[in-house]
């Protein structure tokens, strides 16, 4: 069982992680972020909507951005006062995220605490295909956009603190009709799958789009 042991992996476990990493996937995403560093920069519109409707009034806490890539959603949260842990396999993506975080810290904080912005971004280069544990009651918010590994669902549930929110958006099987996204069903949700997977949470918003992005979108909290 591989466990996430926090931001400071021991040298030995860091090396073990590196060796066991899916190097094909890492190379694919490193190449993509190197070739188009300007793509995946705007925060996801679903995160923006979910945030303004459900999260903008609660005090910022600790957030996890799973497979957060170049950090467009992490930075959105960071600017609003959240401490963000960004996990991803791509070191190029993580380096871009760190650059953006440094810039964001030089700009005005958008959180509503009036205390200035004490928030930080912690990046963790990790192969989420080998991870089975994200800790227990660790995060006030977990966001996951356009990444699917079903085996992580129980870990996500455990890692949310009571009262914590989950915001998840990724492609459904309908994406195959529209084209342009992953074409392996392993990476595509079945109808209602996300809803069923997180039915132990209080689901406050769920819907599926069948055109365009063809994605399922879920907002839920742990009671
Ligand atoms: C479609 S991108 C989405 C990135 C980000 N969530 C966003 O919305 O901007 C998918 C991300 O998953 C990451 N990824 C793919 N396989 C992974 C793995 N096995 N472990 C960790 N991250 C992985 C990629 O590096 C990439 O950043």
Supply the pLDDT for residue 104.
Answer: 79
Structure tokens at 103: 């810039």
CA–centroid distance, 146 to ligand 1, in Å, is 7
CA–centroid distance, 68 to ligand 1, in Å, is 6
Give the predicted TM-score (pTM) of the model: 0.89
Supply the pLDDT for residue 213.
Answer: 83
Supply the pLDDT for residue 22.
Answer: 79
Supply the pLDDT for residue 12.
Answer: 45
Between 91-106 and 23-35, two packed helices, what is the crossing angle to 10 degrees? 50
Supply the pLDDT for residue 142.
Answer: 98
Q: Percentage of residues in the chain with pLDDT exceeding 90?
A: 72
Nearest to residue 121, comparing CAs of 156, 168, 162, 72? 72
Query: What is the overall mean pLDDT for the chain?
Result: 88
In the chain, beta strands by DSSP E? 62-66, 83-88, 121-125, 139-145, 160-171, 202-208, 215-221
Q: Kindly state if the Cβ of 129 falls inside 6 Å of ligand 1.
A: yes
| Rg, C-alpha atoms of the chain | 17
Q: Which fold has domain 62-221?
A: Rossmann fold (3.40.50)
- What average pLDDT does this structure show over 158-187? 91
Residue ranges per domain, the chain? Answer: 62-221
Ligand 1 atom with the smallest distance to the CA of 144 is 6
Q: How confident is the model over 100-111, as pLDDT tens digits?
A: 998 877 655 555
Supply the pLDDT for residue 106.
Answer: 61
Q: Kindly state if the Cβ of 26 falls inside 6 Å of ligand 1.
A: no
Q: Kindly state if the Cβ of 60 falls inside 6 Å of ligand 1.
A: no
CA–centroid distance, 127 to ligand 1, in Å, is 10
Q: Percentage of residues in the chain with pLDDT exceeding 70?
A: 85
- What average pLDDT does this structure show over 162-178? 94
CA–centroid distance, 113 to ligand 1, in Å, is 31
Nearest to residue 137, comparing CAs of 106, 109, 158? 158
Higher pLDDT: 151 or 110? It is: 151
Per-residue confidence band for 94, with pLDDT thresholds at 50, 70 and 90? very high
Q: How confident is the model over 29-69, as pLDDT tens digits?
A: 999 999 999 888 899 999 999 999 999 999 999 999 999 99
Higher pLDDT: 177 or 108? It is: 177
Nearest to residue 33, comparing CAs of 123, 122, 95, 99? 95
- Is 161 a residue whose pLDDT tops 90? yes
Q: Kindly state if the Cβ of 45 falls inside 6 Å of ligand 1.
A: no
Q: How confident is the model over 182-220, as pLDDT tens digits?
A: 888 899 999 999 999 999 999 999 999 987 789 999 999
Higher pLDDT: 106 or 165? It is: 165
């Amino acid at each position: 069982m591989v466990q996430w042991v926090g931001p400071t992996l021991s040298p030995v476990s860091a090396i073990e992680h590196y060796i066991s990493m899916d190097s094909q996937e890492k190379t694919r995403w490193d190449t993509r972020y190197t070739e188009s560093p300007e793509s995946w920069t705007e925060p996801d519109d679903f995160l923006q909507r979910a945030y303004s409707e459900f999260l903008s009034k609660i005090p910022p806490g600790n957030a996890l951005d799973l497979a957060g890539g170049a950090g467009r959603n992490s930075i959105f949260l960071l600017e609003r006062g959240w401490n963000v842990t960004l996990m991803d396999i791509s070191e190029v993506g993580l380096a871009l995220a760190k650059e953006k975080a440094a810039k964001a810290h030089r700009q005005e904080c958008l959180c509503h605490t009036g205390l200035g912005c004490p928030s930080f971004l912690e990046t963790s280069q990790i192969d989420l295909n080998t991870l089975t544990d994200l800790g227990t009651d660790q995060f006030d918010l977990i966001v996951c956009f356009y990444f699917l590994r079903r085996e992580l669902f129980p870990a996500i549930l455990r890692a949310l603190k009571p009262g914590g929110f989950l915001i998840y958006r990724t492609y459904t099987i309908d994406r195959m009709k529209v084209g342009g996204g992953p074409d392996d069903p392993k990476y595509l949700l079945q109808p209602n799958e996300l809803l069923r997977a997180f039915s132990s949470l209080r689901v406050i918003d769920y819907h599926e789009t069948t055109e365009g992005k063809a994605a399922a979108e879920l907002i839920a909290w742990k009671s």
